[in-house]
Chain A
Amino acid sequence: MSWIDIGHIDDVPLRGARLVKTPVGCIAVFRTAEAEVFAAANSCPHKGGPLSEGIVHGRHVTCPLHNWVFSLETGAAQGADEGQIATYPIRLEEGRLLLDAVAVGKRSAA
């Protein structure tokens, strides 16, 4: 596995998210706690709302357009809504945020 450095954890607000543009589309990087991050697809399967603009609570995010709630661990829509967002491996190493290159559509480092 190869990892791509996309920034520092402090660039992501606590209980907030930032957007990363990748070959597989826009990915939202969520910071759910001081040292806890998740990466998932930015687009809500319902009407395409930008999940990186949603309110982050616990290990969940709420879509800003119609309040669908997704688990950032599994990507599954919560409650009565049915849907799924893709989740991506992300690592936190000494404050740096690392995305898995293959998972986001980059060829592994040759």
Chain B
Amino acid sequence: MAQKLIVIGAGMASGRMLEHLFERHTDWDVTLFNAEPRGNYNRLMLSPVLSGEKTYEEIVTHDAAWYEGHGVTCRFGEKVAGIDRAAKTVTSETGEVLAYDKLVIATGSNPFIIPLPGHDLEGVIAYRDLEDTNRMIALGEQKGARAVVIGGGLLGLEAAAGLHARGVDVTVVHLMGHLMERQLDEAAGYLLRKELVGRGIKVLCATNSKEILGENGHVTGLALDNGTVLPCDLLVMAVGIRPNVALAQQAGLAVGRGVHVDDQMITSDADILALGECVEHGGALFGLVAPLYDQAKVAAATLSGEEAAFVPRNVSTKLKVTGCDLFSAGDFAEGEDREDIVFRDPARGVYKRLVLQDNRLIGAVMYGDTADGNWFFGLMKEGECIEEMRDTLIFGPAFQGGAAADPLAAVAALADDAEICGCNGICKGTIVKAVQDGAHTLGDVKAITKASNSCGTCTGLVEQVMAVTLGDDFVLPGAQGICGCTDLSHEDVRRLIKSQELKSQPAVWQELGWSTPNGCHVCRPAVNYYLLADWPLDYHDDLQSRFVNERNHANIQKDGTYSVMPRMWGGITTPDELRAIADAADKYKVPTVKVTGGQRIDLLGVRKEDLPAIWYDLNQAGMVSGHAYSKGLRTVKTCVGTDHCRFGTQDSTGLGIKLEKKLWGSWTPHKVKLGVSGCPRNCAEATCKDVGIICVDSGYQVSVAGAAGMEVKETERLVDVPTEAEAIEWTTAFVQLYREQARYLDRPYKWVAKVGLDWVKEVLAEPAERAALNERFEISQSVYRKDPWADHAEHRADLYQPLADITLEAAE
């Protein structure tokens, strides 16, 4: 005779359990209770229902026919009032008493409602079931509807995105500092927030709610701790769930946070099993679906008298918000014995982080590109040793060809549609075809396909594709490393300094595996620059990593003397300044005084020992270093503009002075020279400068990336702006972008040639981006907009003298 099985709760876990049970063709007489007036559906898919991408019908997992076919008596919309363990019966809310041989408790969880004042108002809902979902859908039909979602976790964000898709004005209020803090680290949380904000969802992090406001019993808004009030028509609380243990507790079963079960999913009563979100196993609760399905399998086996044990496993999460590609699995907290591999592509909004411990992958967070998520998850679950493929691990399975040691094999294994150049969207097949059609050098391939023509980080890959295609005909150019100390390229080092937050040179040498104890004359100045540009407040400029001119703030000449050139703002000087320069030239017996192309005066042939004194004298006359020796802002050349010139259209001299006063002292990858001409006659020769501004009647033409050195190149137009303030803002943003992105010793024109002027324009066209660049520039300038001459004359003058002179007491 069939045994009587009663199942309380028709959720995803119990539905799956019944499937497993019926597969075994054992004879059960099943009664299924459900408080919701419907059977099993895929609760995970409520979000697509909310956003309108699916209908409820599409997410039903077991329909009426299925229950009927398996002889399940459905009591949907009917709650169970109590369990009598001694009599082995349950009593329904209608008073009916049913006997069981085995009972399965799958009561799931209840949403946690924060007991804020007003939490019982009409219009305050959780996000748990179809009813909640329908409430939100109905809100979307209301014109101008507003909603607040408390909770920036998985569920809260899905609710917010769904509401937004329904046309509701949504604000997310989240207590923690970044979204989805349980699944994401800060960086991925930041990208997620940026995406949501970009769509028009308001996000408030690190924000406390104080009170829910209402009128006539209906919610009208949420008052925050800081006094702000967010008006709303619906308030969704999605701050977490609590196992629903009331029934089990009442029945006297062992209950902690959830219903206690053993590895067989048996509760403290041998005839009662429990599974799903209501259970506690080994101290853990369960909210994600994968372990629930495992429990279902075990429970079905236990009921069938088979051996099975539930083993908790790692779980992965994907956010079901269309367009937000996000994946998180395992443990990604930082720890001493843990190492990170991080990959970021800011332009594409991609972030990937792998956490390793003992050469095993224990956590992964990915944003923007989650295609390899399941592969990483597999490695994590298997606990596979990743030592062999560590170098290319973050690039995913596509790069793990046969022999891990041979990068060419990995490249050869790539499919034709594998993307090689992310900036330009060039895949392997395109490059192979170009090579087969005769492009045999990197330059040719770049010119034809545009691969590696932008940021350049894929250059190595492009060369490998060429090598695979050409075979022995291809000669790889010399190593791409900065120098002999590292195989890493400038681009790699810049990226890693940022992603790994390396803030000192020893950190770079150590973490990036420098082969020399402390670098060499090639890498040290580059690394020093990258560090001070990326961490202006944390890193201290290292004079011993600077070329002599920058260390001594003067240009060394071939005879070991130096040249001294004070700044003349915008090429304007005064009789007093000229007198001071003349006096200094006399006093320090300067052999040559020269007017330079940058509109200032150079004193050539000063002895090193005299430098602090001559600087002091020039400082006294109000002059500061002209940085004529630095990879930094040199001069801003101007014409006289409207002040005197009958053709001048704007105050070019004034703009030049303002620009110079803003930009001076900043370090850049290579020298930076500006020019401002008052009219298109261009007397300041602005169109061969790094940034050249031509004043016109309607405003300012800002052009960039000119050159007049070993190469001669006319500038290209960046933007036309009507006001002086905008000209300064654009120029500063351009300089800061160059400071942040370019490789050391690339002049702006070289950098722009690599990344493309279109990309620069695209970035700078965004007002928020320009503002952010300006802000970061100012942060850096809070440290570097200072006169190094005054500093050295006051604090370091001794270092300009010999340590000792033992010739004087020469032996008699």
Contact = CB atoms under 8 A, between A and B. Distances in A.
Interface of A: 4, 6-7, 11-16, 18-23, 26, 29, 47-50, 53-58, 60, 62, 64-65, 67, 69, 97, 99, 104, 106-107
B804 A21 contact: yes
A45 to B, nearest CB: 15
Given A15-B544, A69-B521, A53 B556 contact: yes
Contacts of B807: 21-23
Nearest to B518: A57
Contact of A6 (B524, B799, B806): B806
Contact of A22 (B546, B552, B806): B806
Q: Which of A4, A15, A104 has the most CB of B within 10 A?
A: A15
A20 to B, nearest CB: 5
Interface in B463-502: none
A6 B804 CA distance: 6
7 contacts: A47-B558, A55-B524, A57-B524, A60-B520, A62-B520, A65-B558, A107-B811
A53 B803 contact: no
Contact of A20 (B556, B560, B804): B804
Given A106-B806, A107-B811, 10 more contacts: A13-B799, A16-B544, A22-B807, A53-B552, A53-B556, A55-B521, A55-B546, A57-B516, A57-B517, A58-B520
B557 to A, nearest CB: 10
B548 A7 contact: no
B544 A14 contact: yes
Given A13-B799, A57-B518, A65-B558, A4 B806 contact: yes
B548 A58 contact: no
A18 B544 contact: no
B202 interface: no
Contact of B520 (A14, A48, A57, A99): A57
B811 A106 contact: yes
B551 interface: yes
Contacts of A60: 520
Nearest to B810: A23
A98 B556 CA distance: 29
Contact of B803 (A29, A48, A50, A106): A29
Contacts of B546: 55
B543 interface: yes
B535 interface: no
Nearest to A104: B806
Contact of B802 (A20, A47, A104): A20
Contacts of A11: 798, 803
Nearest to B812: A107
Given A50-B560, A53-B556, A56-B544, A67 B521 contact: yes
Interface of B is mostly: loop
Given A22-B806, A50-B560, A57 B799 contact: no
Interface string B306-341: 000000000000000000000000000000000000
B563 interface: no
A77 to B, nearest CB: 14
A47 B560 CA distance: 11
A59 to B, nearest CB: 9
Interface residues of B, number: 29
Given A23-B806, A55-B524, A18 B551 contact: no
A18 B518 contact: no
Contacts of B811: 23, 106-107
Contacts of A20: 802-806
Contact of A13 (B544, B552, B802): B544
Q: Which of A7, A23, A57 has the most CB of B within 10 A?
A: A57
Contacts of B799: 13, 18
B545 interface: yes
A19 B517 contact: no
Contacts of B802: 18-21, 26
A94 B519 CA distance: 28
B558 A55 contact: no
Contacts of A69: 520-521
A47 B558 CA distance: 8
A64 B544 contact: no
A20 B807 CA distance: 9
Interface in B542-590: 543-548, 551-552, 556, 558, 560
Interface string B789-812: 000000000110011111100110
A57 B803 contact: no
Interface in B507-545: 516-521, 524-525, 543-545
Given A20-B806, A54-B548, A55-B524, A15 B558 contact: no
A19 B518 CA distance: 22
Q: Which of B525, B544, B547, B552 has the most CB of A within 10 A?
A: B544
A23 B810 CA distance: 7
A12 B803 CA distance: 8
Contacts of B521: 54-55, 57, 62, 67, 69
B151 to A, nearest CB: 52
A107 B812 CA distance: 9
B804 A53 contact: no
Nearest to B546: A55
Contacts of B518: 15, 57-58
A11 B802 CA distance: 11
